[in-house]
Amino acid sequence: MPSNAAVTPSTLSRLDLPWQINWDIHTCTLCGRCTAVCPVNAIELGVFRKRNMTTPFFAEKTRPRSDFSIYYGIRQRTDPGYACVGCSMCNLVCPNNSIEARRSDTFDMLRFHRDRAGQPRTRGGRRNSPDSVLDQIKFIRISMLTDPALDAGRHEFEMRTLIGRILSPAKAINARREKGWIPPVREVYPLLIGGMSFGALSPNMWEGLQMGVAYLNEELNMPVRMCTGEGGCPPRLLRSRFLKYVILQIASGYFGWDEIIHAIPEMKEDPCAVEIKYGQGAKPGDGGLLQWHKVNRLIAAIRGVPPGVSLPSPPTHQTKYSIEEAVAKMIQSMSMAWGFRVPVYPKISASSTSLSVLNNLTRNPYASGLAIDGEDGGTGAAYNVSMNHMGHPVASNIRDCYLNLVKLGMQNELPLIAGGGTGKNGNLAANAAALIMLGASAVQIGKYIMQASAGCLGTEGDRCNICNIGRCPKGITSQDPRLYRRLDPEKVAERVVDVYVAFDTELKKIVAPLGRSTSLPIGMSDALGIAHKSAAERLHIKYVV
Amino acid sequence: MCRLFSLTSREPLSPIKAIEALEMMKEGHDGSGIGLFLSDLSGPFSNFRDMPILSGIFTQSGLRRQEDYMTGQGFLPSYRMILDVSKDPPPGTPRREIYLIQVYEPPERWKELEQDQREQLMTGTRLTLRHMGAEKKDMVIFSFWPDVIMIKEVGDPMEIAGYLRLDREELQARRIMAQGRQNTNYGINLYACHPFFIQGMSTMTNGENTAFVPIKEYLSTQGVVGYEGYQSDSEVFTHILHFTIKQLGLGIEHYKHIITPLQDSDLLIHADRDFLTSLKQSCRRLIIDGPNCVIGCLPDKTMFMVQDRKKLRPGIVGGKPGLYAFSSESCGLDAVIPDRDKTKDFQPMHLDTAIVAPDCQEVRICRQTQPLPLQH
């Protein structure tokens, strides 16, 4: 910075930024790949002027000299609008490993300046906290000598779950006898890919996920299901046999539902289920958000909106005035659209009001489940404050709901689907198994599958997290073909399959030593322990140290 | 690992027979307890077929409280057998005061009640007495049902049999179930001793039900009188059997479809696939897990054995027309029915339910892959 430049309140130094670019002049070839790849233009070509002092040796007759030279290199911009996000794509593309982004070990000042023009920070990703109570839960009931542990590699395991309203045994037998209506129930794999919309995700990412899911179903006999999120569904998928692997989501913006409703007469298969999104764990009480950067012509066409405008869904469904009537009507209408052949369930953000929702649903014969998304859930775009400070952890919420179903004797009738931060530290199978044993019938993942199947760089250490502006450097959450062509859908599909097959083995490695194989151990709380007394009491599991 | 032995016979037999079989299998249990279920009784009890029999252990004051309560309810004491103990109990067995088997004449209003109501009343009475006993620790109640006697005690089975003189002539039955207990994860509690009983049916298990907690939580909230206690993870097997037969009106052929349902590939080609799929889904919380061999007796005196889905525990059935036995080990069978045709011994596998009807004519094997009997 020139010495006479103005110092404004938001003038920051490199050290005031959370991420600093270290660049090595000795190995840099000045190829320019790093500046080209940087998604936020945090680095640029730097033309540096350097003063060289030449002092003569002793007894030499020449005078000391001062001259100037120029060298070229990389300059990190310090304007808050161009702060490095730490994605490290520069390092990824550098042929000589000459550049890297380093997380500052000092308190950054940037956080005080992310509200330019009165716009609070928006971002993608998860709550910026690596804490996870799920990671602290251990599986302690190991079959040892009183009963044999099972062999995860050789024994048969039935690791399926049910989505849909399950009648009580007496009602089921009666309904068959009297040829009455039996609510639709789907037998699925307990790890679902949660709602990530076409729009939030790039076409290549979506296609890759769908191909992976189709392969798992058709080649590996794993009934994995994927939710569309709120953004409609590509018309060809709606009319294909693969629709049965898809959970269609309807949310408060109703984006894409014109297309879906019109496709119903041409559908070859019913969708797996319909999820009505009332809330999202990452930003509870706030609606979906697709910022204008990502609304190109394709997305606009699928969603039935004009291109280039931001699409904020309202925080609530406009028709919703009471849970007893409006929600019940919505569930009923969606059921009716497919002739009561498709399970319809609401998804809410975990909240201290979840129990009231659940209690209402137990009395609604068309409600096919309840998906609860905890505070650690991810999102493509939300206000930073919503992501970091709003919401309820999923563990105690799912446990309370399960125990409430137990109290009502309905724990097999209304499946609970848990989500939000599962596998946030990489422990997917352990987290999912813990949620299942706390009472969830199935677990939803979103961010994890982006990280594992497409190499998403976002972390809870606030790395990258720019999904909202469509500049995803991996092409996962971008609608810019120059970016999403980086992502090969075939490779994404391969990774989805890898993730599921590995998860399946790990899940068996957890349940086999617990002596469980005949059914998914939903609510097997005697297997769980935690070295935290109040957490143990709260979750009604064992306190172990 | 516990050892199980049960007999079903056309002629009455002494329970000592079953205990002799347990003695043969002694390597497999630590003698921490014995449980007996006797039904289709002979001797003096055969005169009171329709009158409920109370089996339990009492202190003097407990017995008085029990008598007061029963009198208040209108039950009149009829025939009584006290397993009098004169000598010191064998090592490991606590000294108790009264081992009571008491036949009751039901109250007058009983005649006007439907069968269901009578059954509810008997179960309710048993539970009230059990709760009263738990409160003051002066009585332990095992059963209160017509034509059923249950005896349970902690200690070595053979020594207890001698101590309680279980070979007495008036104590004979055509259906006898006995378990030699190997104490594992629960304290030695008489209510944790098999067999377990509810409304005329009883089961005993050799195994460990790893799905115990979710099943217990499910059963105990179904609003059925008697689904409580659960001192042992095996008690749920009895209650699931009761749920299958009494609550759902299904037969013993369906029991295995509830506790260990078929996998999808087998269901798809099953003659009753729609029904079984619906049963598998709606009874999902009753699916058992872990190694378990279950032997049970139904209210109609049919005896059966089923195994867990992986058949992880031993179990064998054999005998001759008129006398069949279910045993953990073949040496148990040898001790009681040495003259049977051993080539016809059968070890039920992961899909089988071995059933012997009260006529004791043959062992019927019902495989899960076979079509179910027609529903009425």
Full set of structural domains in chain A with CATH: 14-109 (3.30.70.20), 133-543 (3.20.20.70)
Query: Within 10 A of A33 (CB to CB), how many other CB atoms are there?
Result: 15
Nearest CA in chain A to B213: A524
Q: Which of B210, B214, B287 sits opposite A514 (nearest CB)?
A: B210
Q: What is the pLDDT of residues A145-184, one digit of tens each?
A: 777 778 888 889 999 999 999 999 999 999 999 999 999 9
Cα–Cα dist A179/A452, whole Å: 46
Cα–Cα dist B256/B252, whole Å: 8
Phi and psi at residue A395, in whole multiples of 5°? -60, -55
What's the token pair of residue B26?
Answer: 């002694």
Instruction: Give the amino acid at A283.
Output: K
Alpha-carbon A43 to chain mean position:
29
Give SS3 for A275: strand
What is the model's pLDDT at position A71? Answer: 94
Compute the residue count for chain A: 545
What is the model's pLDDT at position B28? Answer: 66
Cis peptide bond prior to A415, omega within 30° of 0: no
Q: Minimal Cα–Cα distance from A418 to chain B, Å? A: 18
Query: Within 10 A of A55 (CB to CB), how many other CB atoms are there?
Result: 11
Strands B292-297, B98-105: pairing is unpaired
Map tokens 């003096």 to a residue.
B44
CB contacts of A170 in chain B (<8 Å) are 247-248
A118 phi-psi bin (left φ>0, alpha ψ -120 to 50, beta other): left
CB distance B308–A518 less than 8 Å? yes
Q: Minimal Cα–Cα distance from B262 to chain A, Å? A: 10
CB distance B290–A516 less than 8 Å? yes
Cα–Cα dist A314/B348, whole Å: 61
Instruction: Judge contact between A536 and A543, C-beta under 8 A.
Output: yes
What's the token pair of residue A153?
Answer: 């590699």
Cα–Cα dist B215/B202, whole Å: 18
Phi and psi at residue B169, in whole multiples of 5°? -65, -35
What's the token pair of residue A141?
Answer: 């009931």
Instruction: Judge contact between B355 and B252, C-beta under 8 A.
Output: yes
Nearest CA in chain A to B260: A518
What is the model's pLDDT at position B183? Answer: 64
Which fold would CATH assign to domain B3-35+185-367? Answer: Glutamine Phosphoribosylpyrophosphate, subunit 1, domain 1 (3.60.20)
What's the token pair of residue B281?
Answer: 């889904």
What's the token pair of residue A81?
Answer: 């609008």
Instruction: Judge contact between A465 and A125, C-beta under 8 A.
Output: yes
ipTM > 0.90, yes or no: yes
Map tokens 């088997």 to a residue.
B101
Q: Minimal Cα–Cα distance from B111 to chain A, Å? A: 29
Cα–Cα dist A10/A228, whole Å: 41
Strands A344-349, B201-207: pairing is unpaired
Cα–Cα dist A342/A369, whole Å: 12
Instruction: Judge contact between A176 and B275, C-beta under 8 A.
Output: yes
Instruction: Give the amino acid at A2.
Output: P
- HEC string of A391-438? CCCHHHHHHHHHHHHHHHCCCCCCCEEEECCCCCCCCHHHHHHHHHHH
Nearest CA in chain A to B279: A169
Cα–Cα dist A220/B100, whole Å: 61
Distances in Å between the alpha carbon of A227 and those of A244, A276, A301, A382, A471?
A: 11, 11, 20, 20, 24
* Closest to A516 measured CA to CA, from A506, A525, A508: A508
Cα–Cα dist A73/B198, whole Å: 85
What is the model's pLDDT at position B185? Answer: 47
Share of chain A above pLDDT 70, in %: 99
Q: What is the pLDDT of residues A414-423, one digit of tens each?
A: 999 999 999 9
CB contacts of B309 in chain A (<8 Å) are 156, 517-518
* Closest to B12 measured CA to CA, from B132, B176, B148, B130: B176
Instruction: Judge contact between B100 and B133, C-beta under 8 A.
Output: no
Report helix angle A428-438 to A489-511, nearest 10: 50
* Closest to A343 measured CA to CA, from A248, A278, A254: A248
CB distance B290–A170 less than 8 Å? no
What's the token pair of residue A453?
Answer: 């199947």
- Residue B107 burial (CB < 10 Å; 0-12/13-18/19+)? middle
Q: Which of A162, A185, A519 sits opposite B289 (nearest CB)?
A: A519
Give SS3 for A142: coil
DSSP string for residues in A23-86: E-TTT-----HHHHH-TT--EEEEEEEEEEEE-PPTT--SPPEEEEEEEEEEEE--SGGG----
Instruction: Judge contact between B305 and B353, C-beta under 8 A.
Output: yes
* Closest to A199 measured CA to CA, from A300, A104, A120: A300
What's the token pair of residue A380?
Answer: 């493509």
Q: Which of B185, B282, B312 sits opposite A169 (nearest CB)?
A: B282
Distances in Å between the alpha carbon of A405 and those of A162, A355, B222?
A: 16, 10, 11
Best mutation target among B285, B293, B311 (most A Cβ atoms within 10 Å) is: B285
Distances in Å between the alpha carbon of B222 and those of A168, B227, B327?
A: 10, 8, 33
What's the token pair of residue B278?
Answer: 């619906």
Distances in Å between the alpha carbon of A162 and those of A124, A166, A277, A362, B85?
A: 31, 8, 20, 16, 56
Which residue ranges of chain A lie beneath pLDDT 70?
Answer: 1-3
Q: What is the pLDDT of residues A17-42, one digit of tens each?
A: 999 999 999 999 999 999 999 999 99
Cα–Cα dist A485/A489, whole Å: 9
CB distance A147–B260 less than 8 Å? no
Query: Within 10 A of B361 (CB to CB), how many other CB atoms are there?
Result: 12
What is the model's pLDDT at position A516? Answer: 93
Strands, E assignment, A95-182: 99-103, 122-125, 138-139, 161-164
Query: Within 10 A of A286 (CB to CB), how many other CB atoms are there?
Result: 22
Instruction: Judge contact between A509 and A503, C-beta under 8 A.
Output: no
Cα–Cα dist A268/A239, whole Å: 6
Instruction: Judge contact between A194 and A162, C-beta under 8 A.
Output: no
CB neighbour list of residue A175: distance below 8 Å, 6 or more residues apart: A167, A181, A182
Cα–Cα dist B125/A246, whole Å: 54
pLDDT tens per residue, chain B (376 residues)? 688 999 999 999 999 999 999 999 887 667 678 899 999 999 999 999 999 999 999 999 999 999 999 999 999 999 999 998 878 888 888 889 999 999 999 998 888 999 999 999 999 999 999 999 999 999 999 999 999 999 999 888 999 999 999 999 999 999 999 998 776 544 567 888 899 999 999 999 998 899 999 999 999 999 999 999 998 899 999 999 999 999 999 999 999 999 999 998 999 999 999 999 999 999 999 999 999 999 999 999 999 999 999 999 999 999 999 999 999 999 999 999 999 999 999 999 999 999 999 999 999 999 999 999 876 5
* Closest to B18 measured CA to CA, from B167, B211, B142, B229: B167
Q: Minimal Cα–Cα distance from A169 to chain B, Å? A: 5
CB neighbour list of residue B91: distance below 8 Å, 6 or more residues apart: B155, B159
CB distance B288–A518 less than 8 Å? yes
Q: Minimal Cα–Cα distance from A357 to chain B, Å? A: 21
Cα–Cα dist B142/B130, whole Å: 8
Give SS3 for A304: coil
- Max Cα distance, chain B (Å): 62
Phi and psi at residue B318, in whole multiples of 5°? -165, 175
Q: Which of B185, B275, B312 sits opposite A148 (nearest CB)?
A: B312
